[in-house]
Structure 1
Amino acid sequence: MHRLFCASSVLFFVLNLWTHSAFCQTNYSFELADIDRGRLSSPEQSRERLIAIPMSALSSDEREYYQYLSAYFLTFDGDLDAVITEYSALLEITKNADIRIRTLSSLINLLGAKKQWQEGFYRVEELLALLQKYPESTYRPAAYIALALIYKQINQPETALHFAERALSLEDIDLFHKCLSMEVKLDSIVSLDYKQLVLSDFTETDAVCNAADLDYELVNIAIWKIKWLKQQARYQEALNVVELTLVQTEKFRQDSQLIDLYNEYASLYLALKQYDKAQQYAELVAGFDNIDSFVGDKIKMYDVLRQIAEVKQDFNQAYYYLNEKLALEKSMFESKLANEMAIQKAWFEVDAKQSQIELLDKQNDLLKTESQLTTEQLENSLLALSLVSLLLATLLFWSFRSRKVQAKLRYYAHTDGLTKIANRGFFTESVESLLSQAQKNNNAVSLILLDLDHFKNINDTYGHQVGDWALIQVAATIRDSVTENAIVGRLGGEEFGVALMVQDSSVGLRIAEECRQAIDNIDTNKSGYNFKLTVSAGVGCSSHAGYKLDNLYAAADLALYQSKQYGRNRVYEYSASMAS
C-alpha cells in the first residue's frame, strides 16, 4: 500500500518524539516537559497550557523548547507551509542537539509531504550528520523513522528498510516508535517482494501496534495481510480479515483505508465469481466524493467493473471501463515520471553542491602543500647562505630537490588525491591532445563516462570512509580493465571517464561493458560491509560526434543519461536518434 508515507508521515509528525526530560531545571522547564508528554493524549489542552506561558519569562533554552512545541501544535491547523517556516526558523537559532534532531525529523516528513525534495535531501544530510555526532540521543527512533519514511516515498525501499531496522535495533525504543518502525519495515518488504513475508510477520507487527493502541497502523497491517492472502489464492481467509477490519475502520472512518478495503472486497468476490457482490463494492468505491484523489484505487475499481461487464457480455460498458482505466494509468504514469525526474534533479543538485565543497577542500589542501613547500625552500635557502663553505654542495642539493618539488607539484596538479588517477583538468587536457592526434591520423576515439549507481546511499548508510573505499576500488577496477594507452580519470564525485583510440565504435562499447561487469563483481565484504557496487555507462565515439571534445562529451553524457533512465547498471552507446 503506497499511501503509507502520505498518511503515516502526517500522523508521525503529529504524534512523534516523546519527551523524557526537561532541557533546563526551572519551573517553566518542568511545565514545558509536562506539556510535551501530554500532547499525544490531550493535544488541545496541552496547546492551551503552552499559550498561557509568558515567553518573556523563559530562558533562551526554554524559548527554543517553546518554539518547537508551538510549531508542533501548528500542524493541527493544516497549514504545512507555515509549520515548515517555523521549524526552519528554529533550526537557524538553536544549537541544542536534541531540539535539532527532533526538529529535523519533523521537518523532513513535512518536506516529503510537500514534495520539496531538494530542501528535504539537504535536511536528511544534516540529520544523518547529527545522529553520527550524537549516537546516544534519546530521539534516535523518531529520527530513523523519519529517514525511513522519506526514502520509502522516493521509492527506495531497501534504504527505508535499513533505517526501520536500525530503529528496531535500539534497546530503549518505546511501543509507539516500535509499531511505526515495524509498519515501515513491513511496507518496505511488501514493496520489495511479498514472497519474503510469512504469517508471523503480520501477527508480530499487529501485536505491537495493538499494545500501542494505534488503530490506523492496525488497519494498514490488515490490508497488507489481505493482499498477501489473496496472492496465495486464500480468498475466504482474506474475506474474513476484510470483514473484521472493516468494522474497526468504520469507527474512525479514514476514506483512504475504506476505499482500499472496498476494493479488496470487490476483487475477492470477483475471484470467487460472486459478480453481483463484486459490483456492489466496486460501486461503493465509485461513490466516494474524493475518489479522484485516489487514482490507483480508481484504476482497480474500473478494472473490476470491466471484468464484470465482460462476464455479463456487456461489451460496450466493458469498453468504456477499459478506456477510463487506460486514461487514468497514462495520467498516473506521467505524474509518477514527473515526480521521479524532480527527485533525480534534486539529488543531482545536492550532489553537485557536495562535489563543489569537496573540490574546494582539495584546492585548500593543495594550497597548504604549496605553502609548506615554499616554507621549506625558504628555510633551506637561508641555510645555504649561512654555509658558504658548502655552497657548491648546497646548490647541487637544491637542483635535485627542486626537480623533486616540481615533480611533486605536477603530480598533485594532475592526479586525483583519493583514487590516484587523472583529475578532471588533466583528463580533459590529455583527451584534447588525443583527439588532435587522432584527427591528424584519421583514427577514431571513444569516450566512456561511468557513474557509480546510488553512491549517495552508500555514504548515507555506511559512512564516507566506506564511500571513499568504494571510489578507490572502482577507479582501480577501471584502470585494470582498459589498455595501458587508455586515459582514465575521475571527473568529480562518483563520475569517471575513459578515453582511448579505437578501430571503430564497437570497441569502446565492448570495453565499457567489460568495466561494468568488473565493477559489478567487486567484493565489498573487504570494506567490512556487504553491499552492491554497480555503474551506469555512456559511450560516445568521434565517428558519430566528431573530434571536438565538447560534442564528444555531450554524446557520451546523453548515452549515460539513457543508462540511468532505463534502469542503471547498463551501458548505452550514443546514436543520432538520442539527440532527436
Structure 2
Amino acid sequence: MGHIRHRLSLCAVALLLASYASMAVAQLKPGEDATTTLAQADATKTSDHSAFVTTLARLSQDAASLTEKQREHLHYLEAWQVAYAGDYEAAIPLLESVVGSSSDKTLRFRATATLINILGIGHRYQDAFSRLSELTDTLPDVNDPQALLQGLGEAAQMLTTAGQYDLAADYAERMIQNTPANASACKGTYIKLHALYRGKRIVGSDPRYVQGVADCEAAGEKLIANALRTDVAESAIADGRPQDAVSLLEKHYASVLHDQYPSLTSQVESLLARGHWELGEVEAAEKYAHAAVDSAVPGEYSEPLASALHTLYLVARRHGDFQMATQWLERYMQVDKGYLNDVTARAIAYQVVKQQVASSRMEADALDRQNQILHLQREVDRRAMETSRLYIALLLTVLAAIALWLVRTKRAQLRFMRMARRDSLTGICNRQHFVDEATQALQAAGRNGTPSCLILFDLDHFKLVNDTYGHSEGDWVLLRVVAECRDHLLQHDVFGRLGGEEFAILLPFTDEASGAKRAEMIRSAIAAPPAGGPSTARVTASFGVACTLRHGADLDRLLIVADEALYRGKANGRDRVVIAMPEEAPQERPQEAEQIDAVDHATPVRMASP
C-alpha cells in the first residue's frame, strides 16, 4: 500500500509540474528569499489564487536549490493545490507523505488539518473524524497562530458537516478570538455564520452577513465572500424572493468562475437555476442547471447537483419532453438518495468516532484501575482474609461497571441505527427507509401473486399554514396528519415522509378498490376539524393512488404515476383522491405545486484549509 501511494504521489506531482512547465515562468529571482516567498504564497492562496499558482511554478522550477525545510513547505503547498483543483484521491497520499516525513511539527499539524478536510470531502468520514479527534487534543500545544487558526477552522467545518452546529460555531468563535489584530477574521466569520445558518439559528437577511461579506472583500478573500453570498441567496429563495437571489449571484458570477473552486461554482449555478425557475425564466434555469451539473465534482453526490438535476427534470416536463424528464428524474433520485445516504453517513461516523474515543478513555481508566488493584493485591497478600474479601468486592465493582458500559454502548449503537431510519419530526420512515421497506413489501406481494397499492399525498396550501400560524404550528399539523393516518393503517402497511409535506403509504396485498377506499378514509380524516390538541389549523390533502395491477410492481414507476394522479387532483380543486389510469396523459402541475422546497440539510460549501 505504501508503494502504491508513493506512485500516486509521484504521478500527482508530475502532473502538477507539467502544468507549471506549460506556464513558462521564471525561476527564483536573484536575492529572493524562498522562505519569505513561500510564506506570502501560503497566506494569499485563496485571496489571490492565480498569483499563488504562479509562485508555486517558479519555486518548483528551482526546487533543487531550496533547503530541506523549504522543500517540505513547497510539497505541502503543492498537495494543497492538488486538493483545491478537486483531485482528492491524488491529494491524500501527498498530504500523508508530508505528515509522515516532515521534520517540522507545525507543518505536520497543518498537513493533518488539510488531510482531514480532504478526507471529509472524499467521504472517508470515519478516518476524518478519527484524525480530527487527535488534532483537537493537540490544539493546546500549538504555538503557531496560522496553524492554530487552521486547526480550529477545520474542526468547525467538520462538525458542521456532522450536524453539530452549535459546537461548530463555538470552534469558529475561538478561531475569530485567536485571529491576530493585524489579520482578517473573514474565514472564522464565514464558518461561524454558515454553521448558525445550517443550524437554523439565523437567516440570510441577518446583518452579520452584510458585515461578513464587507470584511472578506476588504481582506481580498473574494472566494469566501461569495460563499457567504450563497447562504444569503438560498435564504432569499426560501423566503420567496428569487429575484434578489438571482441579482446577487449573477453580479458576482464571474468572480466565482475566476476562483475555479468546483464545489462553490456548482453551488452558485444550482442556486441560479432555482432562482430563474422560480421567476418563470425557463431557458436561464436550464442553462444554469446544466452548468451546475458540469461543475460538480465527478463522482460526488451533493445537494447542488441534486437540485440542478431536479430543475432539469422540471424544465423537461414543462417542455413536454417526458422521456427526457424521466431520465432527469431517475438521475435526480439516484443523486438525492446518495446525498441523503452521505448525510446519514457523516452523522453516524461522528457518533461512532465519539463512542470510540469515549471507549478508549474508559479503557484507559480501566487499565489505571487495574494497576491500582494490582498494587492493592500486594498489600492484600500481607493482610488478613477480610482485606482479601474487600479486594474481591472492588474487582467485581469494576467488572460490573465495564459490563454496564458495554450494555449502554450497544444500546446507543442501536438507537443511532433507528435514528438514521426515522424522520426526526414525525417518527415515521424517512425517504430512504421507506424506499427500502416498500421495495421489499412489493417483492413479497409479487411472490404471493397479490396486488398492492401506493398512496401518495401532499398537504394543500401547507405554506400558508406556516406563513399564517408559524412553523411550530406547521410541525403540529404534520404530527396530527401522521396520527390520523396511523389510525387507518394495518401492521404490514409501509408509511413514510418523502420530504416537506409529502407522504407515501404502500398497502401490500390490497387491490385498487380497497386502496382507493383507504385513501378516501385518510383524506376525510385529515380534512376533519382538529379535535383538540395544540394544533388549530385545518388542512386538506390531495391523493394519488397507483396499483400494481395497472402499472406493475416497480416502485419508481408507481411513485411517478401516483405523483401525476396527485397533481391532477390538485389541478381539479385539491382535497380529493385520484386513481392513476395508464391510458390518461399526464397533466401539468399547477405553478404553485412546482415550487422547489428547500432541502433540509443542504451541503455546506467546504472551504479549502487556510
Q: Do they superpose with TM above 0.5?
A: yes
Q: Which amino acid counterpart does residue 401 of structure 2 have in structure 1?
A: N
- Distance in 2 between the 1:329 and 1:152 partners? 20
Residue equivalent to 2:92: 81
1:70 equivalent to 2:75? Answer yes
Contact 2:275 2:285 in 1 (8 A): yes
Residue 423 of structure 1, aligned match among 394, 398, 401: 401
Closer, same or farther in 2 for the Cα pair 1:271/1:565, shift >3 Å?
closer
Residues 238-287 of structure 1 show CA distances to partners (whole Å, capped at 9, x for unaligned) of: 22202211132244444544443333233223222333443444355456
Distance 1:112 1:560 in 2: 20
Tell me the alpha carbon deviations over residues 191-214 of structure 1, each in whole angstroms, 9 at most, x when there is no partner.
Answer: 211644543121121122112212
8 Å contact kept, 1:202–1:225: yes
Residue 373 of structure 1: how far off its partner (Å)? 5.0
Retained in 2: the 8 A contact 1:148–1:163? yes
The structural deviation recorded for 1:164 is: 0.9
Alignment partners' CA distance in 2, 1:135 and 1:570: 48
Tell me the TM-score normalised to structure 1 length: 0.55
**Match in the other structure for 1:361:** 368
User: Shift of the alpha carbon at 1:144?
Assistant: 0.4
For residue 414 of structure 1, the aligned residue among 396, 416, 428 is: 396
Matched, 1:562 2:442: no
- Indicate if the aligned counterparts of 2:190 and 2:224 stay in contact, CA closer than 8 A: yes
Question: 1:149 aligned to 149, 152, 157, which one?
Answer: 157
Q: Quick one: structure 1 residues 313 and 70, their matched pair in 2 at CA, closer, same or farther if it must change by over 3 Å?
A: closer
Q: What is residue 65 of structure 2 aligned with on the other side? A: 52
Q: Which residue of 2 aligns with 1:472?
A: none
8 Å contact from structure 1 (residues 209, 218) kept in 2: yes
State the 1:153 CA deviation: 3.4
The structural deviation recorded for 1:353 is 4.0
Task: Tell me, in whole angstroms, the C-alpha distance in 2 between the residues paired with 1:184 and 1:160.
Answer: 8
Contact 2:186/2:216 (<8 A) preserved? yes
Residue number in structure 1 paired with 2:39:
36
Match of 2:538 in 1: none
Quick one: distance in 2 between partners of 1:287 and 1:74? 24
Q: How does 1:507-518 map to 2 (within 5 A)?
A: none
Classify 1:45/1:362 alpha carbon distance in 2 versus 1 (closer, same or farther; 3 Å): farther
Distance 1:245 1:270, change over 3 A: same
CA contact (8 A) 1:112 1:120 kept: yes
1:496-507 maps to which residues of 2 (within 5 A)? 496=408
Q: Is 1:212 aligned to residue 219 of structure 2?
A: yes
Quote the residue 1:266 is aligned against.
273
The gaps in structure 2 that reach 5 residues or longer are 1-15, 17-30, 45-51, 428-436, 438-610
Give CA-to-partner distance per residue, 1:432-462, whole Å, 9 cap, x none.
Answer: xxxxxxxxxxxxxxxxxxxxxxxxxxxxxxx
Answer yes or no: is 1:108 the counterpart of 2:90.
no
* CA-to-aligned-CA distance 1:359-389 (integer Å, 9 cap, x gap): 2222122223334555xx4xxxxxxxxxxxx
**Amino acid of the residue matched to residue 72 of structure 1?**
L
Q: 2: CA distance between counterparts of 1:236 and 1:125?
A: 43
- Residues 148, 226 of structure 1: alpha-carbon distance in 2 compared, 3 angstrom cutoff: same
Deviations 1:520-556 (A, max 9, x none): xxxxxxxxxxxxxxxx957xxxxxxxxxxxxxxxxxx
Q: SS state of the match for residue 84, structure 1?
A: helix
SS, match of residue 252 in structure 2: helix
- Judge conservation of contact 2:289–2:308 (CA < 8 Å) in 1: yes
- Structure with greater proportional helix content: 1
> Please, which runs of 5 or more residues in structure 1 have no aligned partner?
1-13, 15-27, 56-62, 378-397, 428-488, 498-535, 539-556, 572-576
Deviation, 1:409, is 1.4
Q: Is the 8 A contact 1:563 1:569 kept in 2?
A: no
* Deviations 1:478-506, CA, capped at 9 Å, x for gaps: xxxxxxxxxxx444xxx649xxxxxxxxx
- Residue 96 of structure 2 aligns with an amino acid whose one-letter code is T
Shift of 1:413: 0.9
**Counterpart residue number, 2:192:** 185
Alpha-carbon distance in structure 2 between the residues aligned to 1:365 and 1:267? 64
Secondary structure at 2:180 match in 1: coil
Letter in 1 for 2:418: Q
| Larger radius of gyration between Structure 1 and Structure 2 | 1
Change (3 A) 1:103 1:323: closer
Equivalent position amino acid for 1:299 in 2 = A
**C-alpha separation in 2, matches of 1:568 and 1:280:** 35
Root-mean-square deviation (CA, aligned residues, Å) is 4.2
Task: Report the equivalent of 1:139.
Answer: 147
Give 1:81's aligned amino acid.
Answer: I
**Closer/same/farther in 2, CA of residues 210 and 373 from structure 1, 3 Å limit:** farther
Contact 1:175 1:209 (8 Å CA) reproduced: no
Match of 2:587 in 1: none
Q: What is the aligned counterpart of 1:245 among 233, 252, 256? A: 252
Deviation at 1:101, TM superposition (A): 3.7
The 3-state SS of whatever aligns with 1:127 is helix
Which residue identity does 1:53 align to in structure 2?
L
The alpha carbon displacement at 1:168 in A equals 0.9
The one-letter code matched in structure 2 to 1:408 is: L
Residue 565 to residue 372, structure 1, CA distance change in 2 (3 Å): farther
Shift of 1:145: 0.8
Q: Deviations over 1:314-364 (max 9, x none)?
A: 656545543443233234444555565566555555554444333222212
Contact residue 194 and residue 228 of structure 1 kept, 8 A: no
Aligned length: 383
